[in-house]
Chain A
Amino acid sequence: MSARDDWWYDEAAGPLVRPYAMVRGRTRPNAPDLHLVTQVRAAAFASDQTSLTVEHREIMALCARPLSVAEVAAYLDVPLVVVKVLLSDLIERGDVLVQTSSPKIPDRDLLQAVLDGVRGI
């Protein structure tokens, strides 16, 4: 435990107390390349979840189907930077699978699929 973990935050710290506490003082996601639309999904066989926080378990439940990082943040109602830290914990444990490629310009086949899909809604 570093000294930072033991700091006490008063009201002046504002709404950041909770997000900061939620990630227990850790500051950066360890998993690289978590973008807004990066898809994450709970692994089929998750490890023992007894050591996980409530927020981690909520993420596991949400990600029973594939979701974007932005959707997880919205459903959990926490800032993106916080959800990225929480997700990276789960990715490191192997409990959450991630699409690792960073956003790239869609090719023609992908655009055609999107075009057909939008026309069909």
Chain B
Amino acid sequence: MVFVASELTVPTAVKIVIAGGFGTGKTTMVASVSEIPPLRTEELLTEAGVHVDDLAGIEGKDTTTVALDFGRITINTKVVLYLFGTPGQNRFWFMWDELATGAIGAVVLVDTRRLDSSFPSIDFFEHRGIPFIVAVNCFDGSQNYTVDEVRHALDLDEAIPVVLCDARNRESSKAVLVGLIQHSMNRLAAV
């Protein structure tokens, strides 16, 4: 027997995915805006990278874990927003699918020194039709490329917003989230 909570007792949860290559500042951005220090949760998988959703027979397998860092913003008493950083290694695609399902959208963080590390993230969200924006993380405070140059280098559609940001900065990271939510609303309106 399963007891179902009424809408009054549990809030609606929504999520935003913070994606990008290794070292692009995903957890930094989560930490900048989260109301709690970023939490870490782990999923088990076999050495072959197969998702473990069943512990039967697990004792005979070599396993490893994939860690997810996430933060939380309580929007109001009825809505809570979670921010999930994607696992650093792209082989954990099954986690990306769970993260992306029902998400408001994704921020793809880009480091202009390693543009190619963001290609897998961009491909993932493009192919699944999930709203995303590209945020160029300006680590050293200086920006060596213009938004147009980054857009061209990443071969991005004109409809995909590209913004500059500093993931360490709360206001800057907030502006990125606002940009993504507005982009998702525009996409919804266009349907």
Binding site for B on A (CB under 8 A): 7, 9, 13-14, 16, 19-20, 23, 26-28, 31, 35-41, 43, 66, 68, 70-71, 73-75, 79-82, 85, 91-92, 94, 97-100, 102-108, 110-119, 121
Q: Which residue of B lies closest to A113 (CB)?
A: B79
Q: Is the pair A98, B2 in contact by a Cβ cutoff of 8 Å?
A: yes
Counting chain A CB atoms within 10 Å of each CB, the highest count among B12, B41, B63, B181 belongs to: B41
Residues of A within 8 A of B58 (CB): 16, 20
Give per-residue flags for B100-118: 1 if the beta carbon is below 8 A from chain A beta carbons, else 0: 0111100000000000000
Kindly state the interface size class of chain B when it binds its partner: 35 or more
* B5 CB within 8 Å of chain A: yes
Given contacts A68-B82, A117-B75, contact A99 B102 (CB under 8 A): no
Q: Shortest beta-carbon distance, B161 to chain A, in Å? A: 15
Known: A16-B63, A79-B41, A103-B15. 6 other contacts (CB 8 A): A70-B41, A79-B65, A99-B12, A99-B13, A106-B14, A121-B174
Residues of A within 8 A of B82 (CB): 36-37, 68, 70
Q: Shortest beta-carbon distance, A62 to chain B, in Å? A: 12
Given contacts A37-B15, A79-B43, A79-B65, contact A97 B75 (CB under 8 A): no
* B10 CB within 8 Å of chain A: yes
A106 to B98: give the CA distance in the assembly, Å: 16
15 example contacts (A-B, Cβ-Cβ < 8 A) are as follows: A16-B59, A19-B44, A28-B56, A36-B15, A74-B70, A79-B41, A80-B41, A81-B52, A97-B10, A98-B5, A99-B12, A99-B13, A100-B2, A103-B101, A107-B188
A115 to B53: give the CA distance in the assembly, Å: 34
Residues of A within 8 A of B5 (CB): 39, 41, 97-99
Which residue in A9, A19, A114 is a CB contact (below 8 Å) of B14?
A114
A51 to B65: give the CA distance in the assembly, Å: 31
Residues of B within 8 A of A119 (CB): 174, 178
A68 to B79: give the CA distance in the assembly, Å: 12
Residues of A within 8 A of B73 (CB): 117-118, 121
Residues of A within 8 A of B62 (CB): 14
Given contacts A36-B84, A79-B42, A103-B102, contact A31 B13 (CB under 8 A): no
Give per-residue flags for B13-44: 1 if the beta carbon is below 8 A from chain A beta carbons, else 0: 11100000000000000000101000111111
